[in-house]
Amino acid sequence: MDKVGVVGCGLMGAGIAEVAARSGGHVVVVESSEEAAKAGLARLEASLGRAEAKGKVDSAADVLARIAVETDLEALADREVVVEAIVEDEDAKVALFRRLDEVVRAPDAILASNTSSIPIMKLGVVTSRPQQVMGVHFFNPVPVLQLVELVPSLLTGPETTERARTWVEGSLGKQAIDCQDRAGFVVNALLIPFVLSAIRMMESGFATADDIDRGLVLGAAHPQGPLALADLIGLDTVQAVAVSLYEEFKEPLYAAPPLLARMVDAGLLGRKTGRGFYTY
């Protein structure tokens, strides 16, 4: 699958587009406005510039030449696989999949979501081809982290899952694991309660953010602490995943702490806004 489409050119969308283009694919990225498209292109240029400086790619210009950033979903008409990477909002994703079903004309195209928590079934059933809809969940930063979660719904065809696996592992050079279509899949179902527990510990005054994170780095060999990781993920994304997990399982460990909600309301979302549990 050399004709790749990506919807959204934020951190995740840009990363997916970059990895696909670096592997030789021809990528069309669609953003919601000209302003967002310019910001997405600048993000790609900066990331590929760093990769070239580190010797990870021979020519950033050659990779960028295989990426087109557009503002019209019709540009995805001939794509063989389209990955949705927009805001973690169920209504927005459902509306987009309805539109992708109309726009993408390749009869065997895979319509994939990079959602970290929303059930894939809810996206598949609004299309005329739920057997070709599945989750293909990358991890941030996409050019660095090797894992991809493959998430078929009850209606996803086995051939769709295997074609997605071949693309992820054979073309992109990632490593895939299989997940059931449950909120959080594998990684976030384990990770988010851990992060929420760290937030509750800080919120209660039991320990500072720095002591919590240093404890996990120095005492458990984690590459970074849970609060620094939350800042990297984005506190709005952490909250969205927590809400989705709690709605599905009704377990207290999935409930978002009040501090997290207040920080999201205040726009303190972590690295992407310059301030979260730490200042950047």
Q: Are the beta carbons of 111 and 129 closer than 8 angstroms?
A: yes
39 in the same domain as 66: yes
Extract the tokens encoding 166. Answer: 């071949």
Residues 172 and 195 in one domain: no
Cα angle for residues 213, 253, 258 (degrees, 5° grid): 70
> Residues annotated in the binding site for CoA, as ranges?
47, 54, 116
Q: Whose structure tokens read 């790619």?
A: 57
User: What CA–CA distances, in Å, run from 59 to 4, 7, 20?
Assistant: 20, 25, 15
**For residue 117, what pLDDT is reported?**
82
Residues 60 and 172 in one domain: yes
Verify that 172 and 215 share a domain, yes or no.
no
Say how far apart CA 128 and CA 114 lie, in whole Å: 20
pLDDT of residue 212: 98
Provide the whole-model pTM: 0.90
Last-in-domain residue among 154, 178, 202: 178
CA–CA separation, 114 and 88 (whole Å): 9
> Cα(48)–Cα(228) distance, rounded to whole angstroms?
25
Phi/psi for 118 (5° steps) reads: -75, 130
Paired strand residues for 86: none
Q: What is the CATH number of the domain that holds 70?
A: 3.40.50.720
**CA distances from residue 251 to 121, 208, 278 in whole angstroms, order as listed:** 22, 26, 28
Tell which residue, 266, 214, 197, 89, has the closest CA to residue 274.
Answer: 266
Distance of CA 247 to the CA centre of its chain: 20
Q: Which of 129, 137, 76, 123 is nearest to 95 (CA)?
A: 123
Among 178, 213, 235, identify where a domain stops.
178
Residues 21 and 124 in one domain: yes
233 is written with which tokens?
């993920």
Tell me whether strands 67-70 and 175-178 are parallel, antiparallel or unpaired: unpaired
Domain span at 265: 188-271
What's at 53, amino acid-wise?
A
- Tell me: do 98 and 196 sit in the same domain: no
The pLDDT, as a whole number, for residue 140 is 87
Residue 234 — left, alpha, or beta (φ > 0 → left; ψ -120 to 50 → alpha)?
Answer: left
Residues acting as catalytic residues = 116, 137, 149, 188
Whole-number Å distance between alpha carbons of 142 and 232: 13
Q: Is residue 279 part of a domain?
A: no
Encoded tokens for 271: 């690295």
CA–CA gap between residue 120 and residue 118 (Å, rounded): 6
Domain count, the chain: 2
Round to whole Å and give the CA distance between 39 and 15: 13
131 and 105: one domain? yes
Torsion, CA 83, CA 61, CA 169, CA 93, rounded to 10: -10
Residue ranges of the chain with per-residue pLDDT less than 50: none
